Amino acid sequence: MQFRPCIDLHQGRVKQIVGASLNEENKDVIENYVSTYDSSYYANMFQKDQLTGGHVIMLGEGNEQAAIEALQAYPGGLQVGGGINADNAEKYLQAGASHVIVTSYIFQDGELKMDRLKSLVEKIGKERLVIDLSCKQKDDKWYVVTNKWTKFSNIEINAETIAEIESYCDELLIHAADVEGKRGGIDEKLVAKLADYVTIPTTYAGGVRSIEDLENFQQLTKGKLHVTIGSALDIFGGDLAYQDVVKYCQ
């Protein structure tokens, strides 16, 4: 299990927000924390602590410059997502991203658009692609959600779906959107299922708030998943010491 750090960007600034409060108009977003530091500050911190595979997520418009500054500060150490498509992916890879992360570009109208996915893989290679299966629960199942987590797709998170998608990418990133940003604990049922399904590096995001949560996560997943933490960390205004997490996961 590795600790994969994150830099979430909203309106050009590093923020931690409640994912479920996102909406297409970008209004009434619940902010847990707005940093006084820029994105490169955090990129330098993660590089100093030798953390790899972290992700820079652009939440809406106006975040491109801040994302590129982070990537240039830590070349090859960070992935980038949010508005990535076949036309702009190469730009972010050239700016220093190790991988690009896609969701809404390949999930349209409730379906996985295989033509878009194959086109992207053809352009940049599967070894540079991370697919974000951000999901919410409905009727005791989990479904991929898109458009800032506002729209349910018909793609259920199950063994069959994971197996198909894994063949087109290098890693998976899975936000548990129901618990993300709320500091209320992990989605235990989801992480246990994911550990049974995945065969490639997979990072889980959502609800970790303590070292006890990390211990529980590691036990439930048998160490098969990586983890990212946002709002709970003291570097983002929370109570969980960033350095304690780095040490625990080392």
CA–CA separation, 50 and 45 (whole Å): 9
Domains in the chain (CATH in brackets) are 6-249 (3.20.20.70)
Task: Calculate the dihedral angle through the C-alpha atoms of 221, 227, 229, 234, rounding to the nearest 10 degrees.
Answer: 90
- Provide CB contacts within 8 A for 114, sequence distance 6+: none
Q: Reduce the DSSP state of residue 223 to 3 states and report it.
A: coil
- Provide CB contacts within 8 A for 12, sequence distance 6+: 62, 63, 65, 66
Contact 250, 244 (CB under 8 A): no
The DSSP call for residue 58 is: E
Question: Which of 73, 58, 71 is closest to 97 using CA atoms?
Answer: 71
pTM for the full predicted model:
0.94
Q: Reduce the DSSP state of residue 190 to 3 states and report it.
A: helix
pLDDT tens digits for the chain (250 residues)? 999 999 999 999 999 886 555 555 555 677 889 999 999 999 999 999 999 999 999 988 999 999 999 999 999 999 999 999 999 999 999 999 999 999 889 998 889 999 999 999 999 999 999 999 999 999 999 999 987 788 899 999 999 999 999 999 999 999 999 888 777 799 999 999 999 999 999 999 999 999 999 999 999 999 999 999 998 999 999 999 999 999 999 9
CA–CA separation, 101 and 97 (whole Å): 10
CA–CA separation, 14 and 153 (whole Å): 28
